[in-house]
Amino acid sequence: MANRYDFDPKTYLQQGAWADVKLGLHRTEELLERLGNPQDSLKIVHVAGTNGKGSTSAFIAGILQAAGYTTGLFTSPYILRFNERIQIDRVDISDEDLLEVAADVRDQALLMDEAPTAFELLTAAALHYFSQKRCDVVVLEVGLGGRLDSTNVVTPLLSVITPIALDHVAVLGDTVEKIAYEKAGIIKSGVDVLSYPQHSDAAAVIEKRAAELGCTVRTPRFSLVDAHAEGLTQVFSYDGIEDVHLRLAGVYQPCNAAMAVEAARILRGKGFDIPDSAIKNGLEATTWPARFEVVAHRPTTIVDGGHNEQGARVLAKSLQEYFPEGGVTFVMSVLRDKD
């Protein structure tokens, strides 16, 4: 009999190209059922959106960890190493644990009539791992869209929607309304929704979907955000949370942080013990690569992964804030599916 561990889990969980995306939930549902439905044992915060969902997810996870909860975090894509995509308390899954959960997933996937996609395999592996490690709470970032994304097999405690803009238009649609419809697909009956203050067209779609499913929508009041640069970091205050020294420098990060504050307050209402001190400490501890990240000095070198018009605008705004004299040199690389 062949050794069930005789394979490379990273190669297995990344099989096929990004272009091979096959949206739909039935394969993930079957695979998770074969694994014993690990998602049903987890308390989940589900995060969709076009921009900012990685940083917002990281902030929420940071707050929950600071409050003493064992916190799973699932994100994509990875920046430096594959294991980043599955973390507990901001520690990447080990190669040994990755092989173990990938073997469990592979055993079940081989029994299926229709082979799961790479992202479906990865989603199942993450949920299986978080359940095995008995996470108190999991922050689950959507891969693509929302409605038909493989993460959308969970019933979360809270659905979070970050800024919506045009991206992945070939898959999700060519208008903000069409994309908002896909993102709003993560909204579940009776589950609270936290939404970024969206463009009116996107907001109308989200509010309509929430009303149909009997959900309350909360939106942060960005008029209460106060932030100023200190060197290449910034000091942030929002609605009673004062003088937070954010390690994430982009001018858009205070809004992501305010989203995380509101998420923490909603979770408080669901029985989580999250004092204001944990909110502050969690925000201050949060790092996230390739989001206006200073990677070197002399010369100051910044890496940013913005890859759509909205991302480009906030990058430009950040550069104007931190380098008002100009003189910025760009080294830029763009995939052919981007505008």
Q: CA 321, 234, 90, 18: dihedral to nearest 10 degrees?
A: -10
What's residue 16's pLDDT? Answer: 64
144 and 168 Cβ atoms separated by less than 8 Å: yes
The answer, yes or no, to whether residue 339 has pLDDT greater than 90, is: no
Each residue's pLDDT tens digit, 183-224: 999 999 999 999 999 989 899 999 999 999 999 999 999 999
What's residue 167's pLDDT? Answer: 56
46 — phi, psi (to 5°)? -105, 125
| Per-residue pLDDT band at 19 (split at 50, 70, 90) | very low
What's residue 17's pLDDT? Answer: 53
Average pLDDT, the chain: 91
The model's pTM is: 0.92
Q: Residue 177: exposed, middle, or buried by beta-carbon count in 10 A (0-12, 13-18, 19+)?
A: middle
CB-based contacts of 149: which residues, under 8 Å, 6+ apart?
Answer: 23, 48, 142, 143, 185, 186
CATH number belonging to the domain at 9-289, selected among 3.40.50.620, 3.40.1190.10, 3.20.20.60, 3.40.225.10: 3.40.1190.10
89: left (phi over 0), alpha (psi -120 to 50) or beta: left
Domain boundaries along the sequence of the chain = 9-289
